[in-house]
């Protein structure tokens, strides 16, 4: 006898599958789907606003696409396969390039060959998907035509005429250009089944807004929030301290255009404030770092003034936020009251340092954290601008809907930074609302705080949950920060580099210890023999001996320094971790130069080195999280089938009767 709740559920399910025939058909369909190979997952981390690089990785499948061409076309020359690959990545640009290089007849023969090859690639790439999923991925304008070409064999005599007639018709109607573009995008779509962004979309690079636009349109993506993402999320939720940090970072890397042009946020009031108070200040230590921006002395000086203004406002607000949150244990980062304003020195941890810059026209030495009326009004304006910016709010909504501090996906554990540990390897405890949390529960409660803050971002009352964005940005036991202190003030104002050192969390020192790692695996409910920990945050360069693969392949640290800001220190230009049904492999990329250069040379930036781990048994959909959900649906449908056959629930024949009446 079924309980009442189960019976109610089965009656609801019966509305969707009202007959035994429909239940049986769905059961056959779902069972078949469970036994197809799992889709290919790509993991990227620390994009930092580098849209062109990020976009290229998606277009070329991080090199996977080019590798498939070696399998599909073993007899083609390497340069022909390179050219074909670029037709997949950048069809519009490649069509334009060869149209300008060739005579018309030669060009038509050439692109007909490319078109036929693209059809063959589509056939190969669609093999691991159901026909239903392939159909849903097809461009509407050419859905029928592509299906006909993919599912017919051009080599069979009685079908070759039909096949060629379709190709001829594409050219006679002058649709070959549009067709090549759409089938190239279709191939891109099939290459990556699921995209995981393991944190840090924002800051450093110039085009985080374009990265977000791309992800919103992407077919399947999740985000594990990085510390820089959380900072922008806090700013969009109205945290004035987060806003000041965003402004400071943007000025530091000369990417204020992201705010002004990308999001349309009016920074003129802030620029006026900075120009007014630092009019005669050379702001030498605040000159922007971004060497990729065309030099403009006047603009750089204005940016430097805005940079300093944002930093001082930030330090003032830190004093207020840290004071009202003693559980953050950040009181030692309240530094403005440690300055001797007459002597131009500061005393930190018992050591007195001379300041590189002691011009502080907006600070009252007797009350250094006090905001002036002008500053309060300015911050209110900025808060209003961030809260009411439609595009920024759309992007942050997407981050909340598709993101988490950590994610367990297909039995792997994904997070950006670290799992806070004590020196003995035990999980660090943090007090949140009068209760201590550690490990997995700490991740959960901190994420809840952010989500509550987001839901109440427009409330007029003070939203102290906003302060948790700041804790996650720079707190000692923040799982996304991963250090014991953020030395922003010292890096600006103190020459002694010993004072700049930021000690990392014990996680980075202890994560390869077998006992501690097993505790982490157990805490987050993952399999020590099969699962992987995948995180970013700390750049590593495999080309100079760094080890992104740790603990006998149980940890993948995949921040490969994609940001151009790392170009002087890191030779490579990012990693992609790929997990398909056969294997796991880490790809290290050459640094992306310009789109024009790589298209001109038709030379990709894939794979300086690869590390590969082959699965003993090929993985199928039933091995995945999606497979588990499908199996639950199958189990429920069998219960419904049983209920129909035992007379507990009656079949609905109303649709059939109305059909016969017609």
Both tokens of 578, joined, read 């790929």
Largest CA-CA distance found in the chain, in angstroms, rounded: 97
Task: Give the residue-averaged pLDDT of 78-104.
Answer: 96
Whether pLDDT at 321 is above 50: yes
DSSP code of 330?
Answer: -
610 falls in which pLDDT band (50, 70, 90)?
Answer: low
Residue whose C-alpha is closest to residue 491's, from 329, 483, 240, 327: 483
pLDDT at res. 590: 87
Strand positions, DSSP E, 512-554:
533-535, 549-550
345 contacts: CB under 8 Å, gap ≥ 6: 339, 352, 353, 354, 355
Residue 316 has pLDDT above 80, yes or no: yes
- Segment among 134-138, 455-459, 500-504, 541-545 with least mean pLDDT: 541-545
Question: What pLDDT is stored for residue 189 in this prediction?
Answer: 94
Polymer length of the chain: 662
What pTM value is reported for the model? 0.92
In this prediction, residue 611 carries a pLDDT of: 67
Q: For residue 267, what are the contacts with CB-CB under 8 A and spacing of at least 6?
A: 247, 256, 259, 260, 306
Q: Identify the DSSP state of 469.
A: H
- Give the pLDDT band (50/70/90) at residue 294: low
Comparing 100-114, 205-219, 619-633, which segment has the lowest mean pLDDT?
Answer: 619-633
Runs of H (alpha helix) within 475-558: 488-493, 506-510, 514-523
Phi-psi region at 367: left, alpha or beta (left = phi > 0; alpha = psi -120 to 50): beta
Contact 287, 304 (CB under 8 A): yes
Count of CA atoms in the C-beta half-sphere (13 A) of 463 = 26
- Residue-averaged pLDDT of the chain: 92
- With contact defined as beta carbons under 8 Å apart, do 362 and 312 qualify? yes
- Would you call 627 helix, strand, or coil by DSSP? helix
Sign of CA dihedral 134, 137, 141, 142: negative
Pick from 260-264, 352-356, 449-453, 583-587: least confident: 583-587
Angle, in degrees to the nearest 10, between helices 157-172 and 176-191 = 120
Strand partners, 577: 43, 586
- The answer to whether the beta carbons of residues 88 and 184 sit under 8 Å apart is yes
From CA 277, how far away is CA 155, in angstroms rounded? Answer: 77
Q: Tens digits of per-residue pLDDT, 245-292? A: 999 999 999 999 999 999 999 999 999 999 999 999 999 999 998 644
464-510 pLDDT tens trace: 889 999 999 999 999 999 999 999 999 999 999 999 999 999 999 99
pLDDT of 181 reads 97
pLDDT digits (tens, 9 = 90+) for 397-446: 999 999 999 999 999 999 999 999 999 999 999 999 999 999 999 999 99
- Boundaries of every domain in the chain: 4-35+631-661, 41-196+552-619, 208-500
Mean pLDDT calculated for residue range 635-642: 94
End-to-end CA distance of the chain: 40
Which of these ranges, 81-90, 133-142, 373-382, has the smallest mean pLDDT? 133-142
- Which of 259-268, 381-390, 483-492, 593-602 is predicted with the least confidence, judged by mean pLDDT? 593-602
Helix H segments across 494-583?
Answer: 506-510, 514-523
* Residue 659: per-residue pLDDT: 44
Token pair in block for residue 319: 């004093």
Provide the pLDDT for residue 19.
92
Confidence of residue 293 (pLDDT cuts 50, 70, 90): very low
What are the structure tokens assigned to 129, written together? 């998907």
CA distance 125 to 189: 10
Please give the Cα distance from 546 to 74 (Å, whole number).
35
Q: Phi and psi for 239 in degrees, rounded to 5? A: -70, 115
What backbone phi and psi angles, to 5 degrees, belong to 409?
-135, 125
Type and span of the H or E element at 40? none
Cα separation, 610 vs 613, in Å, equals 10
Helix (H) or strand (E) holding 613: strand 610-614
pLDDT band for 157, please (50, 70, 90 cuts). low
């Amino acid at each position: 006898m079924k309980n009442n709740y189960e019976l109610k559920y089965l009656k609801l399910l019966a509305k969707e599958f009202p007959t035994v025939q429909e239940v049986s058909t769905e059961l056959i369909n779902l069972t078949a789907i469970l036994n197809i190979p799992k889709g290919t997952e790509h993991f990227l981390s620390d994009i930092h606003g580098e849209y062109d690089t990020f976009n290229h990785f998606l277009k070329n499948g991080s090199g996977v696409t080019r590798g498939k061409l070696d399998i599909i076309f073993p007899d083609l020359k390497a340069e022909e396969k390179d050219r074909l690959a670029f037709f997949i990545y950048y069809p519009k640009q490649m069509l334009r390039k060869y149209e300008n290089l060739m005579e018309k007849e030669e060009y038509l023969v050439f692109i007909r060959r490319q078109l036929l090859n693209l059809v063959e690639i589509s056939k190969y790439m669609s093999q691991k998907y159901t026909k239903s999923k392939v159909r849903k991925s097809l461009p509407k304008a050419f859905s029928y035509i592509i299906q006909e070409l993919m599912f017919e064999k051009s080599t069979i005599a009685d079908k070759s005429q039909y096949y060629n007639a379709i190709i001829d018709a594409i050219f006679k109607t002058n649709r070959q250009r549009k067709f090549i573009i759409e089938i190239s995008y279709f191939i891109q779509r099939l290459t990556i089944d699921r995209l995981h962004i393991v944190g840090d979309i924002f800051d450093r690079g110039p085009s985080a807004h374009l990265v977000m636009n791309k992800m919103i349109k992407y077919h399947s993506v999740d985000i594990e929030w990085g510390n820089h993402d959380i900072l922008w999320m806090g700013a969009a939720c109205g945290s004035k301290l987060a806003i000041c940090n965003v402004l400071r970072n943007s000025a530091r890397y000369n990417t204020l255009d992201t705010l002004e042009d990308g999001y349309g946020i009016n920074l003129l009031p802030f620029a006026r404030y900075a120009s007014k108070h630092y009019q005669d200040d050379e702001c030498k230590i605040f000159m922007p770092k971004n060497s990729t921006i065309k030099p403009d002395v006047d603009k750089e000086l204005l940016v430097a003034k805005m940079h300093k203004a944002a930093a001082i406002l930030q330090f003032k607000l830190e004093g207020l936020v840290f004071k009202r949150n003693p559980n953050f244990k950040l009181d030692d980062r309240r530094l403005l009251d440690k300055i001797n304003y007459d002597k131009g020195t500061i005393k930190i941890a018992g050591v007195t340092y001379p300041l590189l810059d002691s011009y502080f026209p907006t600070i009252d030495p007797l009350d250094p954290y006090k905001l002036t009326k002008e500053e309060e009004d300015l911050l209110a304006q900025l808060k209003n601008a961030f809260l009411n910016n439609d595009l920024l709010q759309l992007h942050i909504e997407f981050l909340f809907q598709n993101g988490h501090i950590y994610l367990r996906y297909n039995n792997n554990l994904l997070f950006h930074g670290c799992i806070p540990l004590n020196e003995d390897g035990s999980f660090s405890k943090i007090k949140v609302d009068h209760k201590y949390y550690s490990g997995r529960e700490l991740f959960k409660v901190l994420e809840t705080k952010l989500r509550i803050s987001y839901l109440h971002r427009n409330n007029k009352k003070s939203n102290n949950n906003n302060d948790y964005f700041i804790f996650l940005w720079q707190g000692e036991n923040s799982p996304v920060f991963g250090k014991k202190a953020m030395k922003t003030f010292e890096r600006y104002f103190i020459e002694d580099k010993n004072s700049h050192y930021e000690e990392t969390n014990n996680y980075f020192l202890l994560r390869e210890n077998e006992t501690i790692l097993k505790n982490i695996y157990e805490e987050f409910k993952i399999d020590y023999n099969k699962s992987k920990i995948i995180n970013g945050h700390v750049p590593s360069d495999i080309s100079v001996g760094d080890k992104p693969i740790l603990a006998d392949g149980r940890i993948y640290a995949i921040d490969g320094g994609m940001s151009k800001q790392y170009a002087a220190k890191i030779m490579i230009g990012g990693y992609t971790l790929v997990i398909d049904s056969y294997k796991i492999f880490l790809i290290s990329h050459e640094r992306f130069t310009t789109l024009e250069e790589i298209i001109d040379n038709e030379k990709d930036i894939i794979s300086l080195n690869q590390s590969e781990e082959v699965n003993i048994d090929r993985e199928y959909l039933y091995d995945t999280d999606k497979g588990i959900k499908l199996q639950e649906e199958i189990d429920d449908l069998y219960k419904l089938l049983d209920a129909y056959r035992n007379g507990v629930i009656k079949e609905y024949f109303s649709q059939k009767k109305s059909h016969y009446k017609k």
